[in-house]
């Protein structure tokens, strides 16, 4: 048994079939949701993304059923704070890569502690590691699918004792894309900018929330293709995800940036939502 609560298809279990296509091919999707006061945060955005991606991939998903299972699971877990991980796979069946003939999709829920980091990276900022691993163009661009091997290989590039808490990923054409577990934003000339993710990368829920909310915070946004030189000339840089919120970036290699006013505004506005 695992050391944390797990349910599979609504039942208490920590096992799936060895023929499940999520195991064999990474044929599935997942969401990582911050839980505060026993409730999932940014939940509608997580469910909307999961539903849209499942539809694109042709994976069976009943959102009302999944929401009911999640609500029941969180009541049973009875924890104020933590991380809910939701995994959806195509299930078992099919011949080789052909998914025809699969059985019902599999829904896996697990609950974990929030990650602990030294110091207060949300206040003091972090160093980014410049990864050699590059991201290739994919038909699955923007989606949070189960095959995250590029991110795994990138994360292997720096050790646990490094002063870097996140890595910067570029694509094969040298465009800035994202962090290994986060999305990237930077500020230049008063505009909040984030990379175009139409070729590769993950359109994070936190990123989407910031883009949709920025106007109400008095901020202009831009989504475009950016070379690393654009990042070098930025006034502020930060990364974000739906578990950790916003981390200001103060260094990447020889480059340095301050913890700026826009970053602090976005961080504080976001924390009102994901930290109660």
Which residue is catalytic, options 31, 41, 69, 144? 144
- DSSP states of 98-120 as a string? B-TT--S-EEEEEEEPPP--SS-
Answer yes or no: do 144 and 269 share one domain: yes
Q: Tokens representing 78?
A: 């009875």
Q: Is residue 1 part of a domain?
A: no
Do 200 and 263 lie in one domain? The reply is yes
Q: Are residues 157 and 53 in the same domain?
A: no
Tokens of 17: 């079939």
Q: Are residues 139 and 65 in the same domain?
A: no
In a domain, 249, yes or no: yes
Q: Of 45, 80, 112, which one is at a domain's C-terminal end? A: 112
**In this predicted structure, what is the pLDDT of residue 3?**
65
In degrees and rounded to multiples of 5, residue 90 shows phi and psi of -70, -15
Structure tokens at 239: 């990364």
Q: Is 20 helix (H, G, I), strand (E, B) or coil?
A: strand
**C-beta separation of 88 from 21 below 8 A:** no
Look up the CATH number of the domain holding residue 201.
Answer: 3.20.10.10
Number of CB atoms found within 10 A of residue 76's CB: 12
Question: Is 243 part of any domain?
Answer: yes
Cβ atoms 236, 263 nearer than 8 A:
yes
Residues 173 and 244 in one domain: yes
Average pLDDT, 10 consecutive residues per value, the chain (276 residues): 81 91 95 98 98 97 97 97 98 88 91 95 97 97 97 93 92 98 97 98 98 98 97 97 98 97 98 92
Residue 29: give its domain's CATH number: 3.30.470.10
Among this protein's residues, is 178 annotated catalytic? yes
Q: Which of 31, 166, 178, 236 is catalytic?
A: 178
Q: Are residues 162 and 223 in the same domain?
A: yes
Report the predicted TM-score, pTM, of the whole model to 2 decimal places.
0.95
Judge if 127 and 86 occupy the same domain: no
| 20 belongs to a structural domain | yes
Which of 10, 251, 226 lies closest to 124 in space, CA to CA? 251
Number of structural domains (the chain) is 2
In a domain, 216, yes or no: yes
Q: Which of 32, 89, 194, 263 is catalytic?
A: 32
Compute how many other C-beta atoms are within 10 angstroms of the C-beta atom of residue 52.
13
Question: Looking at the structure, do residues 101 and 172 belong to the same domain, yes or no?
Answer: no
- Clarify whether 12 is annotated catalytic: no
pLDDT at 2: 52
- 77 and 19 together in one domain: yes
Q: Are residues 212 and 76 in the same domain?
A: no
Helix (H, G, I), strand (E, B) or coil at 264: helix
- In the DSSP assignment, the letter for residue 216 is G
> Are 157 and 270 in the same domain?
yes
Bridge partners, 145 (sequence order): 29
Cite the beta strand spans of the chain per DSSP E: 6-8, 11-12, 28-36, 39-40, 81-89, 106-112, 126-135, 164-171, 176-179, 183-188, 191-195, 220-224, 236-241, 245-252, 255-256
DSSP of 60-77: ---HHHHHHHHHHHHHHH
Say which DSSP state 13 is in. -
Q: 137 and 101, same structural domain?
A: no
pLDDT of residue 1: 37
Write down which residue in 83, 112, 141 finishes a domain. Answer: 112
> Range of 103's domain?
6-112
Q: SS3 for 32?
A: strand
pLDDT at residue 25, rounded to an integer: 94
Domain boundary among 62, 88, 112: 112
Dihedral sign, CA of 86, 91, 96, 99?
Answer: negative
Tokens of 215: 């106007």
**Is 70 in contact with 61 (CB distance < 8 Å)?**
no
């Amino acid at each position: 048994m695992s050391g944390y609560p797990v349910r599979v298809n609504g039942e208490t279990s920590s096992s799936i079939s060895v023929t499940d296509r999520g195991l064999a091919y990474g044929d599935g999707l997942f969401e990582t949701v911050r839980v505060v006061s026993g409730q999932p945060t940014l939940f509608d955005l997580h469910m909307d993304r999961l539903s849209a991606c499942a539809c694109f991939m042709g994976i069976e998903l009943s959102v009302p059923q999944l929401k009911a299972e999640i609500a029941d699971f969180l009541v049973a877990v009875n924890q104020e704070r933590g991380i809910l991980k939701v995994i959806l796979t195509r299930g078992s069946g099919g011949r080789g890569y052909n998914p025809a003939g699969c059985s019902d999709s599999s829904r896996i829920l697990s609950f974990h502690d929030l990650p602990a980091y030294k110091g207060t990276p949300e206040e003091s900022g972090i160093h980014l590691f410049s990864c050699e691993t590059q991201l290739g163009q994919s038909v699955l661009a923007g989606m949070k699918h189960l095959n995250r091997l590029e991110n795994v290989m990138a994360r292997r590039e720096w050790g646990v004792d490094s002063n870097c808490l996140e890595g910067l990923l570029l694509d094969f054409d040298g465009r800035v894309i994202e962090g290994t577990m986060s999305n990237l934003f930077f500020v230049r000339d008063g505009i909040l900018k984030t990379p175009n993710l139409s070729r590769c990368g993950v359109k994070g829920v936190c990123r989407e929330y910031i883009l949709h909310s920025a106007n109400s915070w008095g901020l202009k946004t831009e989504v475009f293709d950016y070379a690393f030189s654009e990042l070098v000339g930025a006034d502020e840089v930060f990364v974000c995800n739906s578990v950790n919120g916003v981390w200001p970036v103060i260094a990447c290699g020889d480059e340095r940036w301050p913890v700026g006013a826009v970053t602090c505004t976005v961080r504080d506005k976001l924390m009102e939502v994901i930290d109660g």
